[in-house]
Chain A
Amino acid sequence: MKALIIVGHGSHLNEDSSLPVYEHAALVRDRYAGEFDEVVECFWKEEPSMRHVLDMVEAEEVCVVPAFISEGYFTQQVIPRELGLDGPVTHRDGRTIRYAGPLGTFEGMPDVILERVDDLLKGKEMRPGRTALVLLGHGTDLNKNSGGVVYLNAERIRERGVYDLVEVGFLDQDPPIAEVVEGVEAENVVLIPVFIAEGWHTRETIPEDLRLTGEVTERADKTIFYGAPVGTHPSVADLIISRARETKEREAQLARDVS
């Protein structure tokens, strides 16, 4: 038997945080029926906990995919510790547990961001002139990977040449998002939070800081289009499956390296 475990952060305070994990799990069960016998959600701050999720899973082959954007504190420290993982592949109690990389660094992420942009702009009127895509990350000065993943996606989208400008702004590190949005030289600014879930930042702090009035905010010199977080997009379910499939290749790679 094979199981897929999707790990989310979760919240003690509201249901928004875990919702995308449940929704992606449901899509995986539906779209990829037969690939996994069990698809189970677990969380850092909700139940089932990472610590106990393996107790309730029957399969001997388990793949763990973190529904996190960047490689960092959670994916490198908390998740392996709580699940008792030794690395990309763990053999324990007759089980093989494969651990996938986070979603944000995956090569398919730019496609999901661009799908999110398409959803946002559908049926909306753009001003004549330039269009800038601004990726908004949380960022932290404590870990350069947190911001790095946003720059990585911006660069990958820039290479495709579909926008006049692709910029990056953050909540908790430089450059601050408000300065980036004000300063960007484009008539249309498309702002996409590179976050997993809706929450306090996407619903409250970001709209307040940027004085947004909703999905579309008209300013004298530009129109700002504000999208939902990329992590809630239904295509993230496909990203999770791609990450899960990739772990097999990682295992083969490790085996080659050892021999």
Chain B
Amino acid sequence: MRATSPERPGGESPRRSTAAEARAAFAHWVNEVPEGLPFGQIVVRALPGNGGYELRHVADVGIPDGDLVAHNEPRAAREIAKLTEEGEYRPLKSSPNLKRGWVLRVKDDRALYVAMNYLYPSGVAHWHLYRNGELEITNYRENAARQSGIYKRVQRLSDEGVQNTAKACCEDAVCLKKTLWDVDENTPLAADRGEGEIPCPEPCSIFVSLARRVRLFERENKRDLDAIGLSPSEKEDLSALVEAAATGSVKFAREAEFEEPLNERRMRYRKLTLVPKLRPVEDTAPEEG
């Protein structure tokens, strides 16, 4: 449940700011471990003596300062988190594609909180609520029920579609959050929920966007299968993949460009649903040798 102020009879209760508690708890958590703690793809470390904090990519631990670009303004974290190493836009900050090569030093826990909220938006607040057993979880069906406009159709996505979308969209290979929600209260999520520190309490907008695309695939599956059971979009994706591979390098679509065949999450979904059609179980005997 969402944290609320306890009711006190006979008057206004003082408001409890869970965000302020989260800020303090996170700083305390970091202060306790001098060598620093990992959070997503970063390591946060308390700087001895001055109350400040240092953040860097987990893969840059031990790299001399001179080899990193140094920042000291907490809002620099937004620029750090915006693009991948290759310059691609990052619509999902918990994707495992945070760039390396920087170090950010901030003066206190408030500045740390600002920086963290650009690197992992609302991550610290949810981490804190989850540790206290107070994080409100919204299951898929509940989330879908409030969608409108072009997303309303996700209400009709099958349970199997939700499960496959979660495997394609939420596992650690593509998102470092720990997935806490289920399809509904009686249908647990089958996807690997992940090992990370950052809880995911509800399907995000990237998920809903992929779910919409998968729902369109489902509709097509019922109506338009050919003699060997392939749908038009499956054939389109296969053609695009063959054509791209034939050039010697597959150029992937942008991270959340689910309308394009060569999108990684769309391909992960195809791996779950198309590959079994193309390579039925009896054909996959282990190779000899």
Write the residues of chain A forming the contact surface with B, with a CB cutoff of 8 angstroms.
11-15, 22, 26, 40, 44-49, 51-53, 55-60, 73, 77-78, 81, 93-95
Given A13-B89, A47-B92, A77-B148, CB of A56 within 8 Å of CB of B122: yes
Given A12-B205, A48-B117, A94-B5, CB of A55 within 8 Å of CB of B18: yes
Q: Which residue of chain B has its CB nearest to the CB of A1?
A: B17
A122 to chain B, nearest CB (A): 29
Contact A55 B5 (CB under 8 A): no
Q: How far is the CA of A40 from the CA of B125 in the complex (A)?
A: 14
Given A73-B149, A78-B148, CB of A13 within 8 Å of CB of B117: no
Main secondary structure, interface of B, reads: loop
Contact of B5 among A13, A77, A93 (CB under 8 A): A93
Q: Is B206 an interface residue (CB 8 A)?
A: yes
A201 to chain B, nearest CB (A): 18
Q: Give the chain B neighbours of A22 by CB distance below 8 A.
A: 78
Q: Is B247 an interface residue (CB 8 A)?
A: no
Q: Give the chain A neighbours of B75 by CB distance below 8 A.
A: 26
Q: Which residue of chain B has its CB nearest to the CB of A47?
A: B121
The contact sample of 17 A-B pairs, CB cut-off 8 A, is A11-B91, A12-B254, A12-B255, A12-B257, A15-B89, A22-B78, A26-B75, A47-B93, A48-B121, A49-B204, A52-B201, A53-B122, A55-B122, A56-B19, A56-B125, A58-B19, A94-B12
Q: Give the chain B neighbours of A52 by CB distance below 8 A.
A: 121-122, 125-126, 201-202
Q: Give the chain B neighbours of A53 by CB distance below 8 A.
A: 122
Q: How far is the CA of A199 from the CA of B13 in the complex (A)?
A: 47
Q: Which residue of chain B has its CB nearest to the CB of A82?
A: B146
Contact B91 A45 (CB under 8 A): yes
Contact B204 A14 (CB under 8 A): no
Q: Give the chain B neighbours of A81 by CB distance below 8 A.
A: 146, 148
Q: Is B256 an interface residue (CB 8 A)?
A: yes
A12-B254, A94-B16 known, 6 other contacts, Cβ within 8 Å: A15-B82, A51-B202, A55-B122, A58-B17, A78-B149, A93-B3
Contact of B2 among A12, A47, A93 (CB under 8 A): A93
Q: Give the chain A neighbours of B16 by CB distance below 8 A.
A: 94
Q: Is B42 an interface residue (CB 8 A)?
A: no
Contact A60 B205 (CB under 8 A): no
Q: Give the chain B neighbours of A94 by CB distance below 8 A.
A: 4-5, 12-16
Q: Is B233 an interface residue (CB 8 A)?
A: no
B74 to chain A, nearest CB (A): 12
Q: How far is the CA of A95 from the CA of B82 in the complex (A)?
A: 32
B64 to chain A, nearest CB (A): 31
Proximity bits, B12-44, A CB within 8 Å = 1, else 0: 111111111011000000000000000000000
